[in-house]
Amino acid sequence: MRHLLSTRHLSRDAAIQILDIAEDMAEVSNREVKKLPTLRGKTVVNLFFEDSTRTRISFEAAAKRLSADVINFSAKGSSVSKGESLKDTAQTLAAMGADGVVIRHQSSGAPQLLAETGWIDAPIVNAGDGTHEHPTQALLDAFTMRRRLFGTTGGTSGTTGGTSGTNGGSRGRDLDGISVVIVGDILHSRVARSNLWLLETLGAHVTFVAPATLVPFGADTWPAAISYDLDQTLAEVKPDVVMMLRIQSERMNAAFFPNAREYAREWGLDDVRFQALAPDTIVMHPGPMNRGLEISAAAADSAQSTVLEQVTNGVSIRMAVLYLLLSGDREALL
Ligand code: CP
């Protein structure tokens, strides 16, 4: 794996390898000294052209736990406001020394451009591009589902030379047969797209639920069921996982259907819908959440919610990705 640009073409074996290495990384993060020397002397550049709380901080924490140096770039306050191009910005940062580049950009395809043009000679990680993909979010979501549904015990992964998936628990497993209902703003969601491709590869059944105005043209060719009725879907599918998406109201106008009240009534995970879920159905949200719109506070703060676990797991997944892309020495792990 030279770059991580999407989940669409990630093989099942590669995905499971990342999830299993993330299990090892989670063990490191549980230690008193949460550090490995693996990337000492390497520099990770975080290039953020769009706002972020979780992803940027999580990549920074992940790089530092692997002993890498980190350079953080945020477009706000930079020479981007003077018209500096993506190419010049990226090459300027790379000239300061970059062994790996993590990029978030409002334009779909920007990470692929960096990877394919050779403007930077370093592995590129897509931290969210436009409405296209957010691969590490999907990986941390799959990691969270696997841990919640199958537990955290089991054999050790290939990184430590042990067995995989033979003792129960998560390691070595895919998500075969589980049902995941993803609700909300599919139209604008890179999280929905990356989750769809990865969940399909891992064997899960995906149903998208949204108002028709928030389902993109062409979605009927995707490997997912599509529904416009949340109550009917929850009653019929009885999902293992309900994933609520953020309504990206910054991309809608005042005349948009549905408005916030209509949306919350028909497609929000309100208290009544949340109480009707099976007690072992897990409730996910990538954040940031619009409480009271797509998810109620009771649902978000419940024991069934994995919202904060997703944040914690994001560090382990990003450690695994940086490790795989930047470390030439697999034996150095653990
Ligand atoms: N889930 C996610 O990408 O959050 P941030 O926008 O805060 O990074």
> Ligand 1 center to residue 332 CA distance, Å?
30
208 pLDDT above the threshold of 90: yes
pLDDT (tens digit, 9 = 90+) per residue, 123-136?
999 999 999 999 99
pLDDT (tens digit, 9 = 90+) per residue, 70-95?
999 999 989 999 999 999 999 999 89
Q: Give the pLDDT band (50/70/90) at residue 257.
A: confident
> CATH 3.40.50.1370: which residues of the chain?
12-133+312-326, 135-306
**What ipTM score was computed for the predicted complex, to two decimals?**
0.98
Q: What is the pTM of this model?
A: 0.94
* Whether 80 contacts 50, CB under 8 Å: no
pLDDT at 207: 98
155 pLDDT above the threshold of 80: no
How far out from the chain centre does Cα 160 lie?
A: 25
Q: Give the C-alpha separation, 321 to 136, whole Å.
A: 8
105 pLDDT above the threshold of 60: yes
Helices (H), ranges, the chain: 12-29, 54-65, 86-95, 110-117, 135-150, 190-201, 230-237, 260-267, 271-276, 297-300, 307-326
192 pLDDT above the threshold of 80: yes
Q: Give the C-alpha separation, 258 to 4, whole Å.
A: 35
pLDDT at 329: 56
12 pLDDT above the threshold of 70: yes
* Residue of 55, 57, 307 to test ligand 1 pocket, by largest number of atoms within 8 Å of CB: 55
266 pLDDT above the threshold of 50: yes
The answer to whether 287 is annotated as binding is: yes
Q: How would CATH label the architecture of 12-133+312-326?
A: 3-Layer(aba) Sandwich (3.40)
Residues with a CB atom less than 6 Å from ligand 1: 52-55, 128, 137, 286-288
Q: Is CATH 3.40.50.1370 what the domain over 135-306 is classified as, yes or no?
A: yes
* Whether 18 contacts 317, CB under 8 Å: yes
The answer to whether 152 is annotated as binding is: no
| Number of other CB atoms surrounding residue 100 within 10 Å | 23
The answer to whether 55 is annotated as binding is: yes
